[in-house]
Structure 1
């Protein structure tokens, strides 16, 4: 390991966990200040404090020769000014509140931290270079495990790292713990001694199957998130500084001292993977199919055939597994025309050539790159990483607001939901202007890749659906309010009649003779006070009749 870590790694893997933190009574400043003040998470905004300069430090040059300050400068210049606040943070004034706050996990600095993935007899021991945390004012966050692979460079090993390294919970409980879908365990080791945490998926499966049918034993938690994620979020340098606890237990939701979190997208993390190799060499499965010829054929809209690419099917399945994070020999699409169409739709073709040796793909599970071009690797780890984080924050924010809209729809029977709906509408508008940017850079590659990532995550589609959902809620709330105003109008009319009846009776004697019905001698001999009392009694009967009628109408409506 010592020899390899002074060079570029075989591959780099960012496992990104988008989550929703409970945004109810607690505000964005509360959770931001919690991480700022616990002594463990350090401010990781791209340019700290001063936006006019990039500060140098003793860590400006990494062991692999990466000049951090040059990359910071290039990344900052890459994005449009209107987008930088949503990517880099850095503002927290009275006039402009911060949109995003970035942190880096301090305990792993200068330590031999590891991200260890175990499946059957294979163990993938990755260097854990950093753990990053991003919090957004929409109530969502991203926890990122930045890993570097110096051990394995074979295609099947990279597939295993990408697939098994992103598990956070069990999507279902199989009868056999050897099921190829599941990782055995993931262990996060912060140093070489005892500071580590592990999620043993195999042990959880075996324990549940062994006690199946026994009441109260090893019951699975539907809201479970891997222990190593919760421990990292709850890590604090001193116990007395830890005033909040992140939990996945719904019983603690809305309780003081707890932040309830849940996955924003999937039961697994999103992975960014860049492999340091020419894609034609990396994807060579030993068959007669040329990676360039196969991808080139799909890019031109043709269907690959045995004549053009002999023995293409094995290569095609292997390529599909890499793009969509399937394990080796585990291609999840058996229908050839559909498999080819999916590969065609998810490959970025700009650099597909024999000269450049660079391959990109974007899927809902992963954003991958294979290249032996150092500049391309650095772009992927900086500019493209920032784009992916922004899109994941967009998709997670939409999901969080959809959850709020669903809760409001259940509470529509309350007195007036228009205020809560208006607050959610305001949040959506802020999201549209602050985070949901339609273009982030003037660079052609950035425009193309950003649009591709957003399309894969259906950001525009779900934003429109959310807007329609809120419009529907607001219309219903307005209708309910109009009905209440109508009832109030009836009540006011009755009250007005109540007060008008005495005057009506008092003036009865003065009516023209032809308007009078029968003998009005009784009215003539009544005093003014008696006439008012008769009016009040008649008004009460009218009011009582209307109240009974409204009560019967409401009962029948239910």
Structure 2
């Protein structure tokens, strides 16, 4: 007899990574060098318990269904096939895994099955780490809400003066522990009770550190660790990991609750005969649960305005199949599904997960490009020539991002079109892409002005010489010219010996003077 699955949860940690190729740090390396997938693969494969995997269909019906669900031009951004050099995937999946969430004040932890850990990295310099969890012990609505809220927190959102870990009273887990294969992790966030350097406030929990090759006894800052999380730990041939979101991982949640599903079905039948009806998840006892579930609130709703709660619920809810007892929702930080349909559970693990990851990668890549623009803008006056080349390369990579990762549509299925649009709108991706385009355009315009200024300086330097030579004419060096008159018959007009020498000297001086001036300016 199979064990019932009350819910499934996928916690996703999006991150930015930089390969440090030089001893001077990542700042002296161009964007493409820092985002080399070959370099990431070399370092990650040496230290991580995860192994690189390749997507293949073979005889798998699930793989076939999720592959053909997406447009052909979208698949290279989603599936790490052997021939795909834009995305690498690593996995660890073994039976017997566990993920335990201990909440302060509770006698027992929430015990979940950790099915798999996955890491996907992209050539835009971002990646996602996913924890796939199965809940077989906790059916209650409050349990599901608390699992989503406490299970995804990776550091304290705030501190109290008398209690650095006061966030444990609200939404930070007292501890997160578990195991899967070689992984055996436990973290109670005690590292935040010690003095913290402002250059490295992100101290990742044990279950994230171990994915990047840390042992249970290793600490952030140990010199032999290949992945680092702070500025002061950056060294040659290490990889710097930086979080993209805040103290919360993105989460997907599938909840199998027959009682709530029946309420949805009954409410929809009633609404068919009622004018200006309100759905049951927008009022009554189900209203607060759906709002909490949708926005990842555990104990309390994250607002105190009934009108705002209703409008936000409407904005983020996808109710195409509410009459069949299936309700979905997508926000900036979550993607949730309430149903008893088995096929939705399969789609949750495949197509819906892929869609959420794609939108997360788009969002993370946009933030990555903005960070690069800010850095290059600060550096442009220090080393204009190198920065100019880096800006051009960054713009080329941005064009690749627009064509290979950011899409207006990912599927020909009407439900896929609508869900993707909801993801895009609620994550603000379309507006962010337009804003990024404007920032890059302004940076390029500034670069054009600077380069035009350099050309004008060069032209101004050569202008007096050009005027003099033009006024005197080439005959200035001939026998009948001015120099011929000065030197008399001792200069052979036919040989042009003196004219040749003087012309060459002038040309060499004209060419060398700007080079020497630029060298002296750069040296200063």
Q: TM-score range by the shorter chain?
A: 0.7 to 0.9
What does residue 74 of structure 1 align with?
A: 65
**2:257–2:340 contact (8 Å) kept in structure 1:** yes
**1:32–1:135 contact (8 Å) kept in structure 2:** no
Shift of 1:150: 1.1
**2:48–2:211 contact (8 Å) kept in structure 1:** no
Closer, same or farther in 2 for the Cα pair 1:407/1:186, shift >3 Å? same
Shift of 1:20: 0.5
> How far apart are the structure 2 equivalents of 1:478 and 1:442?
41
> How far apart are the structure 2 equivalents of 1:39 and 1:225?
16
Secondary structure at the counterpart of residue 20 of structure 1: strand
Shift of 1:505: 13
What residue ranges of structure 1 are gaps of 5+ in the alignment?
48-52, 56-68, 209-216, 285-289, 512-522
> How far apart are the structure 1 equivalents of 2:266 and 2:296?
21
1:410 aligns with 2:406: no
1:14 aligns with 2:23: no
Closer, same or farther in 2 for the Cα pair 1:251/1:324, shift >3 Å? same
TM-score, normalising length: structure 2: 0.79
What does residue 292 of structure 2 align with?
A: 321
> How far apart are the structure 1 equivalents of 2:339 and 2:210?
35
Trace 1:246-265 onto structure 2 (pairs within 5 A): 246-253=227-234, 255-265=235-245
Trace 1:255-334 onto structure 2 (pairs within 5 A): 255-278=235-258, 280=260, 293=267, 312=283, 315-328=286-299, 330-334=300-304
Aligned residue pair count = 474
What does residue 463 of structure 2 align with?
A: 493
Trace 1:86-101 onto structure 2 (pairs within 5 A): 86-92=77-83, 98-101=85-88
What does residue 203 of structure 2 align with?
A: 224
What residue ranges of structure 2 are gaps of 5+ in the alignment?
20-30, 489-497
- CA displacement 1:421-462 (0-9 Å, x = unmatched): 211111111111211122222111111111111111112211
**1:279–1:357 contact (8 Å) kept in structure 2:** no
What does residue 143 of structure 1 align with?
A: 129
Secondary structure at the counterpart of residue 401 of structure 1: helix
Shift of 1:200: 1.7
What does residue 126 of structure 1 align with?
A: 112
What does residue 515 of structure 1 align with?
A: none
Shift of 1:131: 0.4
Trace 1:109-508 onto structure 2 (pairs within 5 A): 109-121=94-106, 123-175=109-161, 176=163, 177-179=165-167, 180-190=169-179, 196-201=184-189, 203=190, 207=193, 217=195, 221-235=200-214, 245-253=226-234, 255-278=235-258, 280=260, 293=267, 312=283, 315-328=286-299, 330-353=300-323, 356-413=324-381, 414-416=383-385, 417-496=387-466
> How far apart are the structure 2 equivalents of 1:310 and 1:85?
38
Shift of 1:136: 0.8
TM-score, normalising length: structure 1: 0.74
Q: Which has the larger radius of gyration?
A: 1
Closer, same or farther in 2 for the Cα pair 1:393/1:311, shift >3 Å? closer
Closer, same or farther in 2 for the Cα pair 1:140/1:334, shift >3 Å? same
